[in-house]
């Protein structure tokens, strides 16, 4: 028997017991005649003590143990004289009578403690050592809890967990597919799923009624910070439902996860249309933990002789509370430089300060009277000591820029507390997005998304401009400005799906070729259906108040999409290539 107890469970009540523990040597200290070892396993750390006077041989052997050696000890539990209140086991120690080394260890390349000296790359190379560290381990255990509670909630709501295949035909979700060559079908390829989208819809045709899966998805995208080429979704689909049913069900799931794991009540989630979100926050995933909503000032600021505003399509600002007195000219100038950086791309920024004594100071004071500026303040709801920051330009661009500025001000003023959670449903997205450069439509969500029932008629009869105005029954779940998930009511009618493919630029042959199986299934009694997928890695990170998803994934890839521990991707044997009927153009 390797152990009678874990390293996390012994307490004062166990004093006098004879126990056997196994674990890793976290640290050891020699103090005169005594040697102390901290023994660690997943459950905690227990102090071991060896006494030179009582057993010199045993004590000498203990002194030779290095960090991360795996040992087994037997001894009796004793109350400590100097207790460690920071450790659950801190009241006791084990007086060791028997020590066995189960395995030696090289000196670890970084310290295995909460704060480590190991850089990212080194930690990833020795991920198995990194996972021994509490902060990483906690996140992985947390993830397991979220998965378990998800399964509990969805099972209790009649969802069935079904596995869908990983070797499939490509599903267009807007990203590139990872491709797997088929050996027995030379020259042919599978794709790894970007999501189980078509399969879950087929499960609805198959009468499964409610499906879910905690599933790996693969997208070969250029890697931005915190995107992983393989990631996990809580993927769901329901038959005979309206949008309302889906929002209720997944609002319920989200509430359940926060309640059962974090003991937090999220309350009812507000909803906002896509158009409203863009107008009020310049973003389809607004962070509503704080205010500073956009105030459009065209009617008050244009045609008063200030050319920059006169030439702009949109003049729009935010009202920053309580900062008029505090914000110096230097800080304002810095902010102007900040919005002018290429990442933001604004040409400049106008400010209006409503000072505590009732006076007004503005960078455009020459062009506008105090009376006029007061009207701006009135429209923005600005009080004494508030400050307007105003950008202008083309509508879409200036909204994006002001969104960045609003978030930056939120950060600077400490209004984005990671422990405060503000969920939001963004609804009524456009069905299609016109790509001016490529002169074609893209599906705003994906090609299987249904237009709103009230828009179907217009979709069949309307002209090009009409297509731009079609609304979809699509929705996103946003928490604290992060898109946690999205979904839609699907098309379940062959003719409507064909029409959508056509608008998206598929010829009938291409549509048949790629999606014949789905179009065919729609002819065998496809029920009305819809669903959603939540980004599981991101949800876990968000719940823990973290922005990085990396440590919520046991074995993540780096920014180049590499696993540096196992060295993947890597070249393959010429023999393997031949077997797969592949010839390379590049030498790796």
Note the residues at the interface with ligand ASP (CB under 6 A).
173, 195, 197, 486-488, 531-533
Q: Which is nearer to ligand ASP, 441 or 448 (CB)?
A: 448
Q: Which is nearer to ligand ASP, 430 or 533 (CB)?
A: 533
Nearest distance from residue 324's CB to ligand ASP, in Å?
A: 43
Nearest distance from residue 511's CB to ligand ASP, in Å?
A: 19
Nearest distance from residue 204's CB to ligand ASP, in Å?
A: 12
Q: Which is nearer to ligand ASP, 142 or 429 (CB)?
A: 429
The rounded distance, in Å, linking the Cα atoms of 330 and 333 is 5
Q: Which is nearer to ligand ASP, 37 or 431 (CB)?
A: 431
Q: Which is nearer to ligand ASP, 246 or 314 (CB)?
A: 246
Which of 412, 418, 419 is CA-nearest to residue 321? 412
The rounded distance, in Å, linking the Cα atoms of 411 and 515 is 46
Nearest distance from residue 289's CB to ligand ASP, in Å?
A: 24
Q: Which is nearer to ligand ASP, 321 or 451 (CB)?
A: 451
Q: Which is nearer to ligand ASP, 244 or 371 (CB)?
A: 244
Cα–Cα distances in angstroms (integers) from residue 185 to residues 424, 510, 578, in the given order: 47, 22, 13
Nearest distance from residue 549's CB to ligand ASP, in Å?
A: 16
Q: Which is nearer to ligand ASP, 23 or 530 (CB)?
A: 530
Which of 20, 37, 43 is CA-nearest to residue 89? 43
Helices and strands counted in the chain (H then E): 18, 22
Nearest distance from residue 512's CB to ligand ASP, in Å?
A: 22
The set of residues, in sequence order, having a beta carbon less than 8 Å from that of 411 and lying 6+ positions away, is none
The rounded distance, in Å, linking the Cα atoms of 54 and 35 is 12
- Given strand 423-427, what is the order of strands in its sheet? 160-161, 210-218, 230-239, 529-535, 482-489, 474-479, 423-427, 271-273
Q: Which is nearer to ligand ASP, 90 or 172 (CB)?
A: 172
The rounded distance, in Å, linking the Cα atoms of 211 and 160 is 5
Hey, which bits of 70-165 come out as E strands?
70-79, 92-103, 160-161
Nearest distance from residue 533's CB to ligand ASP, in Å?
A: 4
Nearest distance from residue 355's CB to ligand ASP, in Å?
A: 48
The rounded distance, in Å, linking the Cα atoms of 529 and 209 is 9
Q: Which is nearer to ligand ASP, 290 or 448 (CB)?
A: 448
Token pair belonging to 442: 């893209």
Nearest distance from residue 434's CB to ligand ASP, in Å?
A: 21
Which of 515, 529, 519, 514 is CA-nearest to residue 496? 519
Cα–Cα distances in angstroms (integers) from residue 110 to residues 39, 131, 428, 558, in the given order: 18, 12, 50, 19
Which of 304, 409, 414 is CA-nearest to residue 364? 304
Quick check: 162 and 202 in contact, CB under 8 A? no
Q: Which is nearer to ligand ASP, 173 or 386 (CB)?
A: 173
Please give the helix or strand (H or E) that residue 566 lies within, else none.
none
Q: Which is nearer to ligand ASP, 44 or 487 (CB)?
A: 487
Nearest distance from residue 196's CB to ligand ASP, in Å?
A: 7
The rounded distance, in Å, linking the Cα atoms of 62 and 75 is 14
Phi and psi, residue 398, nearest 5°:
-70, -30
Nearest distance from residue 174's CB to ligand ASP, in Å?
A: 9
Q: Which is nearer to ligand ASP, 428 or 551 (CB)?
A: 428
Cis peptide leading into residue 569 (ω within 30°): yes
Nearest distance from residue 451's CB to ligand ASP, in Å?
A: 15
Tokens 């997944």 appear where? 250
Quick check: 459 and 305 in contact, CB under 8 A? no
Token pair belonging to 335: 């902010």
Q: Which is nearer to ligand ASP, 409 or 533 (CB)?
A: 533
Nearest distance from residue 395's CB to ligand ASP, in Å?
A: 27
Nearest distance from residue 45's CB to ligand ASP, in Å?
A: 41
The rounded distance, in Å, linking the Cα atoms of 440 and 172 is 16
Token pair belonging to 323: 């900062």
Tokens 């920059």 appear where? 308
Token pair belonging to 296: 């459009």
Hey, which bits of 80-223 come out as E strands?
92-103, 160-161, 179-181, 189-191, 210-218
Q: Which is nearer to ligand ASP, 68 or 251 (CB)?
A: 251
Which of 62, 65, 64, 67 is CA-nearest to residue 108? 67
The rounded distance, in Å, linking the Cα atoms of 72 and 84 is 23
Nearest distance from residue 584's CB to ligand ASP, in Å?
A: 32
**Length of the chain as a residue count:** 588
β-partners of residue 230 are: 218
């Amino acid at each position: 028997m390797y152990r009678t107890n874990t390293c996390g469970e012994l307490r004062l009540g166990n004093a006098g017991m004879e126990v056997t523990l196994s674990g890793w040597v976290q640290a050891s200290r020699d103090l005169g005649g005594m040697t102390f070892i901290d023994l660690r396993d997943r459950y905690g750390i227990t102090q071991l003590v060896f006494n030179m006077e009582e057993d010199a041989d045993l004590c000498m052997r203990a002194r030779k143990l290095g960090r991360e050696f795996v040992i087994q000890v037997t001894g009796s539990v004793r109350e400590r004289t100097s207790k460690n209140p920071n450790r659950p086991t801190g009241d006791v120690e084990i007086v060791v009578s028997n020590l066995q080394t189960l395995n030696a260890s090289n000196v670890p390349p970084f310290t295995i403690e909460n704060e480590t000296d190991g850089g990212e790359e080194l930690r990833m190379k020795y991920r198995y050592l990194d996972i021994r560290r509490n902060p990483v381990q906690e996140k992985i255990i947390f993830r397991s809890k979220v998965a378990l509670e998800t399964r509990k909630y969805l099972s209790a709501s009649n969802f069935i967990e079904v596995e869908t295949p990983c070797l499939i035909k490509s599903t267009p979700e807007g990203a590139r597919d990872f491709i797997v060559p088929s050996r027995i079908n030379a020259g042919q390829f599978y794709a790894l799923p970007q999501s189980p989208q078509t399969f879950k819809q087929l499960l609805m045709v198959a009468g499964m009624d409610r499906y879910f899966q905690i599933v790996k998805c693969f997208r070969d995208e250029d890697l931005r910070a915190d995107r992983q080429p393989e990631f996990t979704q809580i993927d769901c689909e329901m038959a005979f439902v309206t949008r309302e049913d889906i929002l209720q069900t997944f609002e319920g799931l989200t509430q359940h996860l926060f309640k059962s794991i974090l003991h937090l009540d999220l309350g009812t989630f507000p909803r906002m249309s896509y158009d409203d979100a863009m107008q009020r926050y310049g973003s389809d995933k607004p962070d509503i933990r704080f205010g500073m909503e956009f105030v459009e000032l065209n009617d008050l600021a244009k045609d008063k002789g200030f050319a920059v505003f006169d030439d702009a399509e949109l003049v729009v600002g935010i009202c920053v509370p309580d900062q008029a007195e505090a914000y110096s000219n230097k800080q304002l100038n810095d902010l102007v430089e900040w919005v002018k950086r290429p990442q933001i791309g604004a040409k400049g920024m106008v400010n209006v300060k409503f000072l505590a004594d009732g006076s007004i100071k503005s960078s455009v004071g020459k062009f506008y009277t105090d009376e006029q500026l007061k009207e701006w303040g009135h429209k923005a709801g600005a009080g004494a000591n508030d400050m307007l920051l105003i950008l202008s330009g083309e509508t879409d661009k200036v909204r994006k820029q002001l969104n960045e500025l609003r978030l930056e001000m939120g950060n600077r003023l400490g209004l984005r507390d990671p422990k405060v959670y503000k969920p939001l449903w963004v609804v009524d997205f456009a069905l299609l997005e016109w790509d001016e450069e490529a002169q074609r439509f893209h599906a705003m969500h994906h090609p299987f998304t249904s237009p709103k029932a009230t828009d179907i008629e217009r979709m069949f009869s309307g002209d090009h401009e009409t297509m731009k105005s079609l609304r979809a029954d699509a929705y996103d779940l946003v928490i604290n400005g992060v898109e946690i998930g999205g979904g839609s009511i699907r098309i379940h009618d062959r003719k409507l799906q064909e029409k959508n493919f056509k608008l998206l630029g598929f010829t009938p042959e291409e549509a048949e070729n790629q999606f014949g199986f789905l179009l065919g299934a729609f002819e065998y009694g496809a029920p009305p259906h819809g669903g959603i997928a939540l980004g599981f890695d991101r949800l876990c990170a968000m719940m823990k108040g973290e922005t990085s998803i990396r440590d919520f994934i046991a074995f993540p890839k780096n920014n180049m999409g590499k696993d540096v521990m196992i060295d993947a991707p890597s070249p393959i044997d010429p023999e393997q290539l031949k077997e797969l009927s592949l010839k390379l153009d590049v030498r790796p």
